[in-house]
Structure 1
Amino acid sequence: MRNILALSLALIGLAGPALAHATEQGIVMLLPTGYYIAGGVASVILTVLLVSVLPDRAALALFKPLPLLRSRGAGASVRISSASFAALVLLVVAGWFGPHDPTRNPLPLAIWSLFWVALVVLQGLFGDLWRWLNPWSGPYWLLRRRLTLRPYLRYPRWLGHWPALASFLAFAAVLLAHPAPGDPDQLAPMVASYWLFHFLGMLVFGPKWRRRAEGISVLMANYASVAIFAKRGGRWRAGLPGWRFLTQRRPPVALATFMIVMLAVGSFDGLNETFWWLGLIGVNPLEFPGRSFVVDQNLIGLAVACTVLVAGFVATVYLGTRLAGAPRRFGEAFRRLAPAILPIALGYHFAHYMPSFLVEIQYVLRLLNDPLNLGWSLLGLKDFYVTTGFFNTTATMRTIWLGQAGGVVIGHVLAILSSHALAVQMFGTHSKATRSQLALATFMVLYTLFGLWLLASPRGA
């Protein structure tokens, strides 16, 4: 009986039935993933070799954006943000009073599928959508206009982005270690409390609080810097993902650390499901007892993953400055090169969540088609049912897995290209830039191998 209750809690906590269907991993294990992994790693190594002989002008020219349309005013952002806040209120109410089933309640589907998977990827591809969609800016400016409010305190400069890092780690702890992050009854008060805490922070410190202390907004701004499109000089521009790295100021230490932690959280989100991790913490992967039994282990694992990856990045950057004959520029190099990690984080985010999203988006469509479960067909989807059949054939699973692997490899290729361009910009000479990248390029090649191994590894959680 105890095992049945634990399993039920685990299925509720995994926020979406896609994660309850593990058949795709069985077919993945039958694919020649070893050859695919070797091909992906070889592609990244070839990129390193090509970049090492690429002329400096060519390396910088790769990231020169093309001018597009002139930018217009952003007066609509307050209205859109206010509408986003209203939608969030309705979702929280639905979480409290709606169906307990996370596949029929709109709150967990909106938070974990539409926001955390779809919107994050779109943000990283097309630009700063969160600037309009965040649920804080609209209510803040409307309240400020009505009541002529002014910030009570000036945001302390010395705090920097450290509060945002703490905020994001709290979000990651819920995502990775909470026993039931998809349970609407538990998710609703967490979402409401998170919004209220940061809204009060904005009332006290002004809008800078959201840009410096609210973890989700900082994460989304980081991903927006990877995007193809962005506004510069009063005009929309488009370029190779990561082109903004060369045009923006180097981030402060806290923000650079935040960028690396983003990759660490995404990587551990995949690692904590593998047979390797479950065996390490003494859990039988074939009889997984549920998330409530591994809360402490996952919290410790998250902390270790963040610490190890930040330390590894620091070591490789420091070694690179030593090889370039400029160890005193380590601090500058750490801050300049940290954004190059972001394409890897985005690529793995896409790859890791792709299988679950393919199922969970069907639950979203079912909900939109018949929101009250009254037999409606608002989207014209009659007799609509959710299927996981594409996880049961070799052909479709090969396509899905290659799509995932492609996301990881492309992210690493972009990271290597942008890292080298940043090094050229920083050191000024081809030889110094190339030497400074030897350690970091090796780190990225090994991380490619690690990311592809995660995708191919058997899972028991």
Structure 2
Amino acid sequence: MAAVLPARAGRAHVSEQGFVLLLPTDVYISAGAACVALTVLVLTLLPDRAVSGLFRPVATLRWPLWTGARLLTSCLSFAGFLALLWVGLAGPRDPLANPLTLVVWTVWWIGLVTLQGLFGNLWRWINPWTGPVALTRRLLNLRPALRLPACLGQSFGILTFLAFVAILLADPAPSDPARLAGYAGGYWLFTFAALLVFGPRWAARGDGISMLMRHYAALGLFGRLRGRLALGLTGWQALHRHPPRAGAAVFMLLMLGSGSFDGLNETYWWLDLIGINPLEFPGRSAVIAQNLTGLILANALLVAAYGLAVWMGVRLVSSGIGPGQAFCLFAPSILPIALGYHIAHYLTSFLVDGQYALAALNDPLARGDDLLGLGTFYVTTGFFNAPDSVRTIWLTQAGAVVAGHVLAVMMAHTIALRRFGDTRKAALSQAPLALFMVLYTLFGLWLLASPRGA
């Protein structure tokens, strides 16, 4: 029976994935892992020229930097951000009716991050700091007062990103509008002050949000190449950049590890591990310490496993490059996996909460307004109650995970081919990393198929 609810009436979790458990997920998971393994085999058989041409972009029309326009859109974005903060404090307390909660967690965190990874750097146009910082510097004739020490690398960016993930996963009420307004406003002020003090280097090495967006933008189909708008296979921009430094490489692994734990911490397996009955979940406040510990351990294990795989690979071909250099060299190949799992994990949330977001923007103060002309708006979750639609949703999620791993294998092989200049050496060096990616495919698809209890 389809559930059709008024926008203000809903309080339930998006989906309990009940129908997923009735699908032949073992067959789908095996097929997904086999697809990734087959990609590894095909790449070893393709000619060098064919592999190297996979990520060659096509330049199109001239594309200026549009610096002035970006400053204007940034200021407009900041004005919209201030309006959202006001609504977060003055609007309805229901997270499913307050625009701040829905814009931050649905429109921005799910929608914009996905579009950023699929199409390119949209964030540079709506970054809420660029315009205000430039305007403040010009009005007050300010220059950066301090230089961000190079020895710190991206450590501040890693810390701010992990703090964001900790709020997302472990805060007792991250969707409470007033609480979220405090977090969002506080982070904006902190970053604004840091940008004034340290200059643009803070955006590149200290602001975890901007770093996340920049890394995902490197996967986009569209980018700027020698003054022109260029189009290429997902990942071409990451392969045209210099290998990241150690801090940026670790950050890329944290993007994947944090996203994976965001799914793992809801499973029956995790709840049983920490001694929680999934059928009697006591609430987020009861698992704060466990989730924070799990977040740190999950990321540490992923970094260690990835580092071991790339170290074994370069040892197999006696390449002469050290484990640290290899770690940085192949780190960008992790990004498609992170994006694929981000899409898969949040798809069901977006299907429902996207509707609530439209309803909330139509009536931001819950006064009966009709700003978008949508009239009486109803939210439906009926597509979770039919096997055909659930199968389509789950196959879309599984397809995103598998596609991310296939692209990751292709990127890693291309990097190895460019570095070693020989198909045999490239294939041999990628054997441990390919095994790692196949196993991670199995893990990612298992997460999708697992019942949730939190």
Shorter-chain TM-score: which interval?
Answer: over 0.9
Change in 2 beyond 3 A, CA 1:122/1:17: farther
**Counterpart in the other structure of 1:414:** 407
**Counterpart in the other structure of 2:191:** 198
**Contact map agreement 2:87 2:98 (CA 8 A) in 1:** yes
**Structure 1 residue 110: deviation in Å?**
1.0
2:398 and 2:128 map into 1 onto residues whose CA distance is 34
2:267 and 2:214 map into 1 onto residues whose CA distance is 30
Partner deviation per Cα, 1:360-384 (whole Å, 9 max, x = no partner):
0101111222334343444343332
2:367 and 2:167 map into 1 onto residues whose CA distance is 33
Q: How does 1:70-81 map to 2 (within 5 A)?
A: 70-74=62-66, 75-81=68-74
SS in 2 for 1:386: strand
Query: Given residue 318 of structure 2, which amino acid in structure 1 is its aligned partner?
Result: G
Partner deviation per Cα, 1:309-340 (whole Å, 9 max, x = no partner):
00001000000011111254332221110000
**Structure 1 residue 144: deviation in Å?**
0.7
- Of residues 413, 421, 425, the one that matches 1:428 is 421
**1:25 matches 2:23:** no
- Which aligned segments of 4 or more residues in structure 1 are displaced greater than 4 angstroms? 16-19
**1:64 matches 2:56:** yes
**1:140 matches 2:107:** no
**Contact map agreement 2:63 2:228 (CA 8 A) in 1:** yes
**Contact map agreement 1:359 1:387 (CA 8 A) in 2:** yes
SS in 1 for 2:295: helix
**Counterpart in the other structure of 1:109:** 102
**Contact map agreement 1:17 1:360 (CA 8 A) in 2:** no
**1:310 matches 2:311:** no
**Counterpart in the other structure of 1:168:** 161
**1:218 matches 2:220:** no
Q: How does 1:176-255 map to 2 (within 5 A)?
A: 176-255=169-248
**Counterpart in the other structure of 2:4:** none
SS in 1 for 2:307: helix
Partner deviation per Cα, 1:411-439 (whole Å, 9 max, x = no partner):
00000001000001111111111111000
**Contact map agreement 1:18 1:359 (CA 8 A) in 2:** no
**Structure 1 residue 294: deviation in Å?**
0.2
Query: Given residue 322 of structure 2, which amino acid in structure 1 is its aligned partner?
Result: R
1:19 and 1:178 map into 2 onto residues whose CA distance is 18
SS in 2 for 1:67: strand
**Structure 1 residue 22: deviation in Å?**
5.9
**Counterpart in the other structure of 1:261:** 254
1:275 and 1:166 map into 2 onto residues whose CA distance is 29
Q: How does 1:91-106 map to 2 (within 5 A)?
A: 91-106=84-99
**Structure 1 residue 136: deviation in Å?**
0.7
Partner deviation per Cα, 1:200-241 (whole Å, 9 max, x = no partner):
111111121112100000000000001111001000101010
1:187 and 1:354 map into 2 onto residues whose CA distance is 22
**Structure 1 residue 441: deviation in Å?**
0.2
1:372 and 1:336 map into 2 onto residues whose CA distance is 50
**Counterpart in the other structure of 2:273:** 280
- Of residues 346, 350, 353, the one that matches 1:357 is 350
Query: Given residue 36 of structure 1, which amino acid in structure 2 is its aligned partner?
Result: Y
**Counterpart in the other structure of 1:12:** none
**Structure 1 residue 57: deviation in Å?**
1.4
Q: Structure 1-normalised TM-score?
A: 0.94
**Counterpart in the other structure of 1:334:** 327
SS in 1 for 2:322: helix
The root-mean-square deviation of aligned C-alpha atoms, in Å, is 1.5
Change in 2 beyond 3 A, CA 1:380/1:185: closer
SS in 2 for 1:236: strand
2:287 and 2:9 map into 1 onto residues whose CA distance is 20
**1:43 matches 2:35:** yes
1:103 and 1:23 map into 2 onto residues whose CA distance is 15
Q: How does 1:7-26 map to 2 (within 5 A)?
A: 20-21=12-13, 23-26=15-18
**Counterpart in the other structure of 1:8:** none
2:296 and 2:230 map into 1 onto residues whose CA distance is 38
Structure 2: 5+ residue runs without aligned partners? 1-7
Q: Which range moves more in the overlay, 276-285 or 200-209?
A: 200-209
**Counterpart in the other structure of 2:372:** 379
**Contact map agreement 1:24 1:392 (CA 8 A) in 2:** no
**Counterpart in the other structure of 1:5:** none
SS in 2 for 1:165: helix
Query: Given residue 199 of structure 2, which amino acid in structure 1 is its aligned partner?
Result: G
Aligned residues: 446
Query: Given residue 99 of structure 2, which amino acid in structure 1 is its aligned partner?
Result: P
2:11 and 2:217 map into 1 onto residues whose CA distance is 28
2:9 and 2:257 map into 1 onto residues whose CA distance is 25
Partner deviation per Cα, 1:248-283 (whole Å, 9 max, x = no partner):
111000000000010000000000000000000000
- Of residues 263, 270, 283, the one that matches 1:270 is 263
**Counterpart in the other structure of 2:3:** none
SS in 1 for 2:59: strand
**1:83 matches 2:76:** yes
**Structure 1 residue 156: deviation in Å?**
1.4
Query: Given residue 43 of structure 1, which amino acid in structure 2 is its aligned partner?
Result: C
Structure 1: 5+ residue runs without aligned partners? 1-15
The percentage of counterpart residues that share the same residue type is 56
**1:151 matches 2:144:** yes
